[in-house]
Structure 1
Amino acid sequence: SVGGYEIIAGERRYRASELAGKETIPAIIRQFDESQMMEVAILENLQREDLTPLEEAQAYEMLQKNLGLTQEEVSKKMGKSRPYITNYLRLLTLPQKTKGLLQRGELSMGQARTLLGLKDKDRIDELAKRVVKEGMPVRKVEALVAKMNERGQKQKKKNAGKSAFVRASESQLAAKFGSPVNITENKTGKGHLSIDFASPEELNRILDLLGVNLDD
């Protein structure tokens, strides 16, 4: 509060005026209850030009949780469609490392939304890092997510009847290589191990992890 009043909106403008040495600034005085104050503060924050998608999503979540609004009520209050609000709120379900990439602007809203379509949620962080590293356009991310989901379904079918040791080995190897791994084993204890890849670039990435240099 300042001189018996509390700044609800315009905190940055007030600080800038203070730094400029101004003794008075234009202001509008309103009498609000706590919920109204919170709503105005959130709406003011949403007007920021440097607002990230994640911060926008957090603002919508605050309107829901702190003011008890439904998604429909938030959409009407903001003048946005309900799917628009839903898509932003879904960003909050991303794992922490991927949220960090989104917050820093390394990952776009479109890329982040597409990553949410990955059925194996434990692999989102790994894929997000790859998307940023390779600068993948959204269409390529969509194709990769679809392919990984398809592989996941096939892997589930292949896993039927496999021992816990084999399944755990596949899981650890898949995490290491960032690609699906399949192990088949016969009754004599002999078997076969395969690592899937979707492109020459992905094969090169796997070879690098194995320490294989074909130029030598």
Structure 2
Amino acid sequence: MAEKKEARRGLGRGLSALMADVAPTQTNADTDAPRRPDRLLPIESLRPNPDQPRRTFLQEHLDDLANSIRTKGVIQPLIVRPDPNAQGMFEIVAGERRWRAAQMAQLHEVPVLIRDFNDTEVLEVAIIENIQRADLNSIEEAAGYRQLMFKFGHTQEKLAEALGKSRSHIANLMRLLNLPESVQDMVTEGTLSAGHARALITAPNPEQLAKTIAEKGLSVRETEKLVKAGQNPEAPRKPTTDGTFKTDKDADTKALEGDLSAALGMKVFIDHKPGSEKGKITIAYESLEHLDSLCALLSTYR
């Protein structure tokens, strides 16, 4: 179904070494010296990373950064690697926003750190750099965590430890990926906050509620009340295909569904038969890439 992926590896030396490259420059009052670049490269000799996890570059943020660069220059060097497809060119591993802003500031050269990264390390660094700088919206950050977990075998616990995040922060963000794409788009565009989106995860009609929230400008607390009101246990139940009535899931089952969904980055449904120890788990994937990742993950437990 998919080409053979590179062998998975744990965090170990890999992620910690990569993080040393993307960590923000540390300065002090005496020196205030930026990190020394390997060299300066012409703007036109660089090209963006096609797998850059950041998909949205807000113009106002680019304008602010360009104004800063006009005054102080590019303080933090870009991380690049020799372009594997074009001799004499370099691919941006981390720092595309600085590169775009430098062009707006009409700079001809930018400082760079040149690293001999493979394709796997390029994606890892790009994700980590954005996450470390709190430079992604909630959906992009969640997708970044999912990529780190599925493509490179990192666990939520290890990611939390290495990135200085809580495990609950990572798990809660990844749950957002279970929402319909239209709702995720509203979070990406800033129409809804991550808090609004989290409240909608358990809603039976998140798309409809999301539109209502945006139109009325409801707060997160008001959203939580709206979702709770929509989950009326006294509402009439519809019979299933075998003529029986589907029972509401208990809180523990729903919580377990949420945890598994967050861990896998896919929707997980648990159908447990009341009064027995039997049931089934359904995992819904949205693309063949997700299915490939799931198969690779399951194969590690053989």
Bin of the TM-score, shorter chain as denominator length: 0.5 to 0.7
In structure 1, list runs of 5 or more residues that go unmatched: 165-216
Q: What is the Cα deviation at residue 106 of structure 1?
A: 0.8
Matched, 1:129 2:211: yes
Please say which structure displays the higher CA radius of gyration: 1
Matched residue, 2:142: 57
Within 5 Å, give how 1:107-122 maps onto structure 2.
107-118=192-203, 120=204
Matched residue, 1:103: 188
The CA distance in 2 between the partners of 1:20 and 1:140, in whole Å, is 44
**Range moving further from structure 2, 46-55 or 71-80:** 46-55
Q: Which amino acid aligns with 1:36?
A: E
The Cα offsets for residues 132-167 of structure 1, whole Å up to 9 and x where unpaired, read as: 111111111111212211x2x21145x57xxx9xxx
Matched residue, 1:8: 93
Higher helix share: 1
- Say if 1:96 and 1:21 are closer, same or farther in 2 by CA, change over 3 A: closer
Q: What is the Cα deviation at residue 4 of structure 1?
A: 4.8
Q: What is the Cα deviation at residue 39 of structure 1?
A: 0.9
Matched residue, 1:37: 122
- Say if 1:33 and 1:146 are closer, same or farther in 2 by CA, change over 3 A: same
Matched, 1:139 2:255: no
State how many pairs are aligned: 156
Q: What is the Cα deviation at residue 72 of structure 1?
A: 1.4
Q: What is the Cα deviation at residue 89 of structure 1?
A: 0.4
The one of 74, 94, 115 equivalent to 2:159 is 74
**Range moving further from structure 2, 77-86 or 50-59:** 50-59
2:132–2:163: 8 Å Cα contact kept in structure 1?
no
In structure 2, list runs of 5 or more residues that go unmatched: 1-82, 244-302
Matched residue, 2:70: none
- Say if 1:138 and 1:14 are closer, same or farther in 2 by CA, change over 3 A: closer
Give the TM-score, by structure 2 length.
0.46
The CA distance in 1 between the partners of 2:135 and 2:164, in whole Å, is 20
Higher strand share: 2
Matched residue, 2:230: 148
- Say if 1:54 and 1:14 are closer, same or farther in 2 by CA, change over 3 A: same
The one of 7, 19, 25 equivalent to 2:110 is 25
* 3-state DSSP of counterpart to 1:8: strand
Matched residue, 1:196: none
Give the TM-score, by structure 1 length.
0.63
- Say if 1:132 and 1:24 are closer, same or farther in 2 by CA, change over 3 A: closer
Identity %: 39
The Cα offsets for residues 49-80 of structure 1, whole Å up to 9 and x where unpaired, read as: 66221111111111112212111122122210
Q: What is the Cα deviation at residue 105 of structure 1?
A: 0.7
* 3-state DSSP of counterpart to 2:111: coil
Q: What is the Cα deviation at residue 86 of structure 1?
A: 0.5
The CA distance in 1 between the partners of 2:209 and 2:100, in whole Å, is 42
The CA distance in 2 between the partners of 1:21 and 1:53, in whole Å, is 31
2:139–2:177: 8 Å Cα contact kept in structure 1?
yes
